Amino acid sequence: MRSIGIYKEGLKGGIIMFKDSYKRANDAVKLSDSQKEQMLDDIKKAKQRRHTRVLPYAAGAIAACLLLLVVLDVFSVFEGGLFHSVNKKKYDAKSYADIYEKLSPLCKGSNDLKGEGFDKVSVSEDMNGAAVPEATGSSEEFSQTNVQTEGVDEGDIVKTDGEYIYILSYTSSSISIYKADGENTELVSENELFQSSNSASIYYSDMYYYDDMLIIIANEYKSEYSNFFGYYHNVSEKTKLFFYDVKVKTSPELINSIAIDGSYVQSRLTKGILYVVTSYRVSSGVKKSSPETYIPSYCDENGEALVRASDICIPENIESASYTTVSAVDMENTGKLKSSASILGGSTDIYASSDSIIIYRNYSDHKETKIEVSDGSYTVLSDNADSNAYLYESSSKAYLYLVSMNGGNVEFTAHTTVDGYIDSQFCIDEYDGYFRVVATGETYRHAMREVNEGEMSYSQSLDIAELNENSKSSTTLYVLDKKLDVTGKIEDIASGEYVKSARFMGDIGYFVTFRQTDPLFSVDLSDPKKPKVLGELKIPGFSEYLQSYGEDLLLGFGMAADMYTGGTYGLKLSMFNIKDPTNVKEVACREIRDAYSAALYNHKAILADAKKNIIGFPVNEGYMIFSYEKGEFKLKGTIKDECSWNDNMRGLYIGEYYYVVDAVNVSVTVLDLNNFKLLCKK
Partner 1 sequence: MLFTVMRAGDNQNDGFSITADEAFIKYSDMVLRLAYQRVNGNFSDAQDIMCEVFYRLVKHKPNIESDEHMKAWLIRVTINCSSSLLSSAWHKRTCTLSETIPAQNGVASEDLTVYNAVMSLPKSIKTAIHLFYYEDLSVEEIAEAMSANENTVKSWLRRGRERLRAILNEQID
Segment 385-424, which members bind partner 1 (CB under 8 A)? none
Q: Which region, judged by CB under 8 A, interacts with partner 1, from 130-138, 171-179, 327-335, 633-641?
A: 171-179
Which positions ≥6 away from 606 have C-beta within 8 Å? Answer: 146, 545, 547, 557, 597, 599, 615, 616, 617
Long-range CB contacts (within 8 A, 24+) of 525-530: 525/431, 525/434, 525/436, 525/479, 527/488, 528/434, 528/479, 528/481, 528/487, 528/488, 529/479, 529/487, 529/488, 530/488
Tell which positions 505-564 bind partner 1, by CB under 8 A.
515, 544, 559
Instruction: Give the closest residue to 422 by CA, choosing from 377, 382, 475.
Output: 475
Min dist CB 439 to partner 1, Å, is 14
What are the E-state strand segments in 132-212?
Answer: 158-160, 164-169, 174-179, 186-192, 200-209
Q: Which of 148, 191, 196, 297 binds partner 1 (CB under 8 A)?
A: 196
Min dist CB 47 to partner 1, Å, is 5
The backbone torsions φ and ψ at residue 97, rounded to the nearest 5 degrees and listed phi first, read -60, -35
Min dist CB 302 to partner 1, Å, is 30
Q: Which of 144, 176, 356, 362 binds partner 1 (CB under 8 A)?
A: 362
**Could you give the CA distance from residue 345 to residue 280 in angstroms, rounded to a whole number?**
9
Min dist CB 645 to partner 1, Å, is 5
Q: Which of 87, 110, 171, 470 binds partner 1 (CB under 8 A)?
A: 171
* Binding flag, residue 365, partner 1 (CB under 8 A): no
CB 425 within 8 A of CB 349: yes
Which residue type occupies 476? T
* Binding flag, residue 36, partner 1 (CB under 8 A): yes
Min dist CB 579 to partner 1, Å, is 31
* Binding flag, residue 495, partner 1 (CB under 8 A): no
* Binding flag, residue 77, partner 1 (CB under 8 A): no
Residues 271-310: x where in contact with partner 1 by CB under 8 A, - otherwise, as a string: ----------x-----------------------------
Min dist CB 441 to partner 1, Å, is 15
Q: Which region, judged by CB under 8 A, interacts with partner 1, from 111-119, 158-166, 209-217, 673-681?
A: 111-119
3-state secondary structure of 477: strand
Q: Find the angle CA(359)-CA(362)-CA(365) to the nearest 5 degrees.
A: 140
Q: Which region, judged by CB under 8 A, interacts with partner 1, from 63-71, 92-100, 147-155, 286-294?
A: 63-71
Q: Which of 229, 248, 388, 532 binds partner 1 (CB under 8 A)?
A: 229
* Binding flag, residue 640, partner 1 (CB under 8 A): no
* Binding flag, residue 364, partner 1 (CB under 8 A): yes
Min dist CB 557 to partner 1, Å, is 12
Which residue type occupies 547? Q
* Binding flag, residue 368, partner 1 (CB under 8 A): no
Instruction: Give the closest residue to 678 by CA, choosing from 639, 626, 624, 621.
Output: 639
Beta-bridge mates of residue 245 = 213, 253
* Binding flag, residue 21, partner 1 (CB under 8 A): yes
Min dist CB 607 to partner 1, Å, is 19
Return the number of the residue (369 or 548) whose C-beta is nearest partner 1.
369
* Binding flag, residue 5, partner 1 (CB under 8 A): yes
Return the number of the residue (311 or 518) whose C-beta is nearest partner 1.
518
* Binding flag, residue 71, partner 1 (CB under 8 A): yes
Which positions ≥6 away from 679 have C-beta within 8 Å? Answer: 182, 183, 657, 670, 671, 672
Q: Which of 143, 145, 148, 173 binds partner 1 (CB under 8 A)?
A: 173
* Binding flag, residue 346, partner 1 (CB under 8 A): yes
Q: How far is CA 377 from CA 371, 395, 460, in A?
A: 10, 21, 16
Return the number of the residue (223 or 369) whose C-beta is nearest partner 1.
223
**Could you give the CA distance from residue 618 to residue 648 in angstroms, rounded to a whole number?**
9
Q: How far is CA 566 from CA 149, 227, 544, 609, in A?
A: 32, 52, 15, 30
* Binding flag, residue 333, partner 1 (CB under 8 A): no
Min dist CB 57 to partner 1, Å, is 6
**Could you give the CA distance from residue 255 to residue 269 in angstroms, rounded to a whole number?**
19
Return the number of the residue (90 or 538) whose C-beta is nearest partner 1.
538
Q: Which region, judged by CB under 8 A, interacts with partner 1, from 223-231, 298-306, 482-490, 632-640?
A: 223-231
Min dist CB 210 to partner 1, Å, is 27
Min dist CB 666 to partner 1, Å, is 11
CB 404 within 8 A of CB 359: no
Give Rg (Cα) of the chain: 27
User: Phi-psi bin for 272: left (phi > 0), alpha (psi -120 to 50), beta?
Assistant: left
Return the number of the residue (632 or 642) whose C-beta is nearest partner 1.
642
Tell which positions 230-249 bind partner 1, by CB under 8 A.
230-234
Return the number of the residue (54 or 127) whose C-beta is nearest partner 1.
54
Q: Which region, judged by CB under 8 A, interacts with partner 1, from 112-120, 129-137, 241-249, 633-641?
A: 112-120
Q: Please name the helix (run of DSSP H) or strand (run of DSSP E) that holds residue 263, with its range, or none.
A: strand 263-270
**Could you give the CA distance from residue 79 to residue 72 in angstroms, rounded to a whole number?**
10
* Binding flag, residue 1, partner 1 (CB under 8 A): yes
Q: Which of 116, 163, 429, 641 binds partner 1 (CB under 8 A)?
A: 116
Q: Which of 530, 642, 677, 681 binds partner 1 (CB under 8 A)?
A: 642
- Could you tell me how many residues make up the chain? 682
* Binding flag, residue 40, partner 1 (CB under 8 A): yes
State the alpha helices, DSSP H only, in 140-215. none
**Could you give the CA distance from residue 47 to residue 23 in angstroms, rounded to a whole number?**
34
CB 570 within 8 A of CB 559: yes
Q: Which of 28, 289, 433, 551 binds partner 1 (CB under 8 A)?
A: 28
Tell which positions 565-624 bind partner 1, by CB under 8 A.
565-570, 594, 596-597, 600-601
Q: Which region, judged by CB under 8 A, interacts with partner 1, from 244-252, 357-365, 473-481, 502-510?
A: 357-365
Q: Please name the helix (run of DSSP H) or strand (run of DSSP E) that holds residue 38, with its range, or none.
A: helix 33-48
Which residue type occupies 585? K
User: How many chain residues interact with partner 1 (CB under 8 A)?
Assistant: 105
What is the 3-class SS of 492-515, one letter each residue? CCCCCCEEEEEEEECCEEEEEEEC
Q: How far out from the chain centre does Cα 470 lie?
A: 31
Residues 426-465: x where in contact with partner 1 by CB under 8 A, - otherwise, as a string: ------------------x-x-x-x-x--xxxxxxx----
**Could you give the CA distance from residue 332 to residue 315 in angstroms, rounded to a whole number?**
33
Min dist CB 449 to partner 1, Å, is 10
* Binding flag, residue 257, partner 1 (CB under 8 A): no
Q: How many CB atoms lie within 10 A of CB 319?
A: 12
